[in-house]
Chain A
Amino acid sequence: MTDVVSSPAGVLAKPARRDIGIKRRYAAERRFRAYGIAALSFGLLFLALLLWSVVSKGYTAFQQTMITVPVEFSEQIIDKDNERATDPQKLLTANYPLIARNAVAKALGVAEGDRAGLRAVNQMISDAVRGQLRDMVVANPQIVGTTQTVSLLAAGDVDSAFKGQIDLTVTENNRKVSDQQVGWMNQLAEAGALGKHFNTGIFVNGNSSRPEAAGVGVALIGSFYMMLIVLVLALPIGVAASIYLEEFAPKNKFTDLIEVNINNLAAVPSIVYGLLGLAVFINFMGLPRSASLVGGLVLTLMTLPTIIIATRAALKAVPPSIRAAALGLGASKMQTIFHHVLPLAMPGILTGTIIGLAHALGETAPLLLIGMVAFVANYPTTPMDPSTALPVQIYMWANEAERAFVERTSGAIIILLLFLIVMNVGAILLRRRFERRW
């Protein structure tokens, strides 16, 4: 009051508010909020960047450059002395690359005597045409001596150049395709002989040291076997274990031990499971190396804790009134669980299982240790045969030096991610469709 009296003007003017730092505090509030937005955007930005980098590098892998030319299956080259009726080896060992080279050279108008030119033509065709033409002839020996129109695989470098992945402004000596070959490539493309086709090879072929012929076929089969083994073993065992722990187990030291164990197993680094598989399944039990059986067993052990934890949560979510009603009607405890509780918990269990399977499908490290990094070009017929897995195939291609393998690796990653998306979307739909809120 004394203040007001001493200065009459102060009666009208509002007293200056004591500075309690409101501005500063609100600025801090805004800053804090901005940190949150920044952090969230950082995470989402890198998700987008990761997916974009994979897709932008990999989508071209689903197209493959082919050279479609009339190929003369010259009897002169394949079987000069007409021995193919008596010697089946003749058709298997004939010089098919020469036939392909001649066909392309003819289409380009390269003279037969032009050795340097012919060599350059040869570099434009993939070595995989040997197998391609051989399979055609072996399947149908009648075509020897005729001329057929065949789509030949272009070499990896031509493929990259045609897709615009090779910088053509670099000096000719520093890149893998010469100006002459680029000219030919464009000439063939204008004539409609050279063009991009959908690449079925990446889905069906086995591994190859030539990027244009490499595919994930064997890896897909291997991964399929492993997922089958994981499903067949981990789902029943996991569900059985969860039922015991959740519904029957008495509260004692042993059950406690199992519980702590399961929680810890879920957090053990995956590579440790690989060491376990190597020591127990391969060295002790003598199962074959590189077999999808061993991979499946290792992944089963790895997936079990995930399934058990998900199943227990699903069982816990079934209300006790269901159990009480069933027991009240005279069902035994076992009947209550198997006839009533388990079916109601099934959507949750399956969701957990699918997510566990998706994790197992993307797992690489333990498979490296049990020898699945082997170079496998042939399809495995049983889970005991050498095989490889999709993520391991990605790892092997990622280590290849050739430029064209980067595209293949990204393509394989896209395939893997598609599988994972399908599985996870399936899990979400399953949950949406069947989940009950009590």
Chain B
Amino acid sequence: MSTPLILLILAIIAVVCYVVGTRHALAIAGGLSSKLHSRPGYYGAFVAICAVLPAAVVLAAWLIASPFYINSTVRGGFPEDVKARSVAEQGLAFGMVSSLARGMDVLTLEEIDRVGSNPAELRNTLGTKGVALAGDPEPYMVASAGDLNAMNKISNRVMTAVVLIVALIGAGLSYNRISHRFRARNRVERVILGALVVASSIAIITTVGIVMSMLTEAGHFFGRVPAWEFFFGTVWDPRFAAAGTTASEGQFGLIPLLLGTLYIGLVAMLVAVPVGLFSAIYMSEYASPRLRSVAKPLLEVLAGIPTIVYGFFALTTVGPFLRDLSADINGIVTGNAMNFIQAQSVLTAGFVMGIMLIPYVSSLSDDIITAVPRALRDGSLGLGATKSETIKKVVMPAALPGVVGALLMTASRAIGETMIVVLAAGVAARMQLNPFEPMTTVTVKIVSQLTGDLEFTSPQTLVAFALGITLFVITLCLNIYALFIVRKYREQYE
């Protein structure tokens, strides 16, 4: 039976158990639910949980474990000369066997008879059925594929039987436990609590997954390219090579990418910080409530626009505008109408990213500025300071740690931003300081290394994970530091 079908049956069993359990509990109490410890539904839920939960655990364990067992048994059955080959070749052979097995499921009995003795025929026959084989199967593979199919079939049957039996046993045992004094609610609630704990550990699992997956793949990469060449290399030249050819390994220097990331981030912050901060100050200190109630949500719309839209805006509007503008300026000043700003440049990407970041800066700082106690302002105004002097000399120093925290969080967003730079920053990994020229970033290179047609084991692909872990660590440090500053600050007025 297929897995979805088993799940469906389990779901039906659960519903039946719930109904039967509820009725049984009511019957025991003679129709008066007040005589039961828990409300009747809890008894039904208890029976349903006892039936389905262990069965589902068995099902999951079986589904995870059985392929490992079956695969190793089938591989163990390979002829000795195959076993002597390299791991990769054995893997290829096993891949063939499993696609053969899949194909043989589709064939009718007489077709199997016809091709049984002739492996070469098999490939053509399977081809017409839509199962493509990488090469001509060797005779032992056909035998292994037959074994594989047989074992899978047996495993599936035994699994179905075991799961259903476990479900029925669970249902029967729990059904018999129903009585007046049985504390069904407490049992059910304990299971629910368990589920809540599992749900909240998903956050941990995700983090562990991120770190582990990146570390393993980056580890493979550092096995091919020394770590110091990656972290301190100044040349990025991965040398794309077609799969299978043994071209030179290329150079994977992180420095130019990191420089580009920081430079574009810097330009973005130069736009976002003054604009965002002044907007926040104006909205919290000067603006009338009416203006504030209109302007604040409007500014926050900027944060809700997907970054791909900003990227497109940079690519089709801002980039060409800056390019033409620079050509005009050059034409007026020197008479030579050559553009000195490229359409894809640090300036374009940084500027548009800065616009995207304005609402982050403004709403975070707005909250912090508003949190500064009224008394501080009143004291300063009472001493004769103007409003702006109060803001500059009293409010901002008090809000500074929080604002710095907010800016750090914004900076981490700038560093991790992808779509704007992919479309507007260019792909050339260069080390230079002219903001009018294209540069590239860590995120751009992650995307470009992983969207090609390279085999997954090549360092050209694996380097993306090394870049990813670098990015993760940088943003994590920035965020933790920002969180630390913000938390420390918050305690001052509480």
Contact = CB atoms under 8 A, between A and B. Distances in A.
Contacts of B281: 36
Given A29-B387, A44-B295, A373-B451, A271 B471 contact: yes
Nearest to B278: A39
Interface in B193-208: 193, 195-197, 199-204, 206-207
Contacts of B450: 275, 278, 368-369
A417 B413 CA distance: 22
Contacts of A249: 200
A237 to B, nearest CB: 5
Contacts of B185: 332
Q: Which of B195, B412, B416 has the most CB of A within 10 A?
A: B416
Contact of A32 (B362, B391, B418): B391
Given A365-B443, A368-B447, A40 B279 contact: yes
Interface in A25-76: 25-26, 28-29, 31-33, 35-40, 42-44, 46-47, 49-50, 53-54, 57
Interface SS of A by simple majority: helix
A279 B279 contact: no
A275 B446 contact: yes
A363 B305 CA distance: 10
A265 B203 contact: yes
Contacts of B451: 368-369, 373
Interface residues of B, number: 87
Interface in B37-94: none
Contacts of B274: 39
A100 interface: no
- Of the four ranges (under 10, 10 to 19, 20 to 34, 35 or more), the interface on chain A belongs to 35 or more
A263 B216 contact: no
Interface string A390-426: 0100110011000000100110010011001000100
B283 A416 contact: no
A276 B392 CA distance: 45
B315 interface: yes
A10 interface: no
Interface string B176-192: 00000000010001001
Given A26-B386, A36-B281, A40-B295, A53 B316 contact: yes
Interface in A227-277: 236-238, 240-245, 248-249, 257-258, 260-265, 267-273, 275-276
Nearest to B291: A40
A57 B465 CA distance: 38
Contact of B479 (A236, A264, A272, A301): A264
B201 A258 contact: yes
Q: Which of A236, A242, A260, A369 has the most CB of B within 10 A?
A: A369
Interface stretch (B101-109, B306-314, B330-338, B429-437): B306-314
Interface in B437-488: 443, 446-447, 450-451, 456, 464-465, 468, 471-472, 475-476, 479-480, 483
Contact of A304 (B202, B276, B283, B305): B202
Interface in B325-360: 355, 358-359
B388 interface: yes
A334 B192 contact: yes
A305 interface: yes
B201 A271 contact: no
A28 B207 contact: no
Contacts of B358: 43, 46
A308 B283 contact: no
Interface string A8-35: 0000000000000000011011011101
Contact of B200 (A241, A365, A398, A409): A241
B419 interface: yes
A304 B203 contact: yes
A364 B468 CA distance: 16
A310 interface: no
B196 A43 contact: no
Interface stretch (B118-126, B156-164, B296-304): B296-304
A240 B217 CA distance: 32
Contacts of A359: 304
A240 B313 contact: no
B286 interface: yes
A280 interface: yes
Q: Which of A236, A248, A271, A413 has the most CB of B within 10 A?
A: A271
Contacts of A416: 306, 309
A268 to B, nearest CB: 7
Contacts of B210: 268, 272-273, 275-276
B214 A279 contact: yes
Nearest to B192: A334
Given A40-B278, A394-B312, A276 B199 contact: no
Nearest to B475: A269
A244 B200 contact: yes
Nearest to A264: B479
A380 interface: no
Q: Which of B295, B422, B451, B483 has the most CB of A within 10 A?
A: B422
Interface of B: 185, 189, 192-193, 195-197, 199-204, 206-207, 209-210, 213-214, 216-217, 274-279, 281-283, 285-287, 295, 298-299, 301-302, 304-313, 315-317, 355, 358-359, 362, 386-389, 391-392, 409, 412-413, 415-419, 422-423, 443, 446-447, 450-451, 456, 464-465, 468, 471-472, 475-476, 479-480, 483
Interface of A: 25-26, 28-29, 31-33, 35-40, 42-44, 46-47, 49-50, 53-54, 57, 236-238, 240-245, 248-249, 257-258, 260-265, 267-273, 275-276, 278-280, 283-284, 301, 304-305, 308, 332-334, 358-359, 361-365, 368-369, 373, 391, 394-395, 398-399, 406, 409-410, 413, 416-417, 420, 424
25 contacts: A28-B388, A33-B286, A33-B388, A36-B278, A36-B286, A40-B282, A43-B275, A47-B301, A244-B196, A245-B200, A268-B476, A269-B415, A271-B416, A275-B450, A276-B210, A279-B217, A334-B189, A334-B192, A362-B307, A364-B419, A368-B450, A369-B446, A398-B312, A398-B316, A417-B305
Given A40-B282, A308-B203, A369-B450, 15 more contacts: A40-B283, A42-B275, A267-B409, A269-B475, A271-B416, A271-B447, A275-B468, A279-B216, A333-B189, A361-B306, A364-B308, A365-B443, A395-B419, A398-B311, A410-B312
| A-B complex: 5 closest residue pairs judged by Cβ atoms | A269-B416, A362-B306, A36-B282, A39-B278, A279-B213
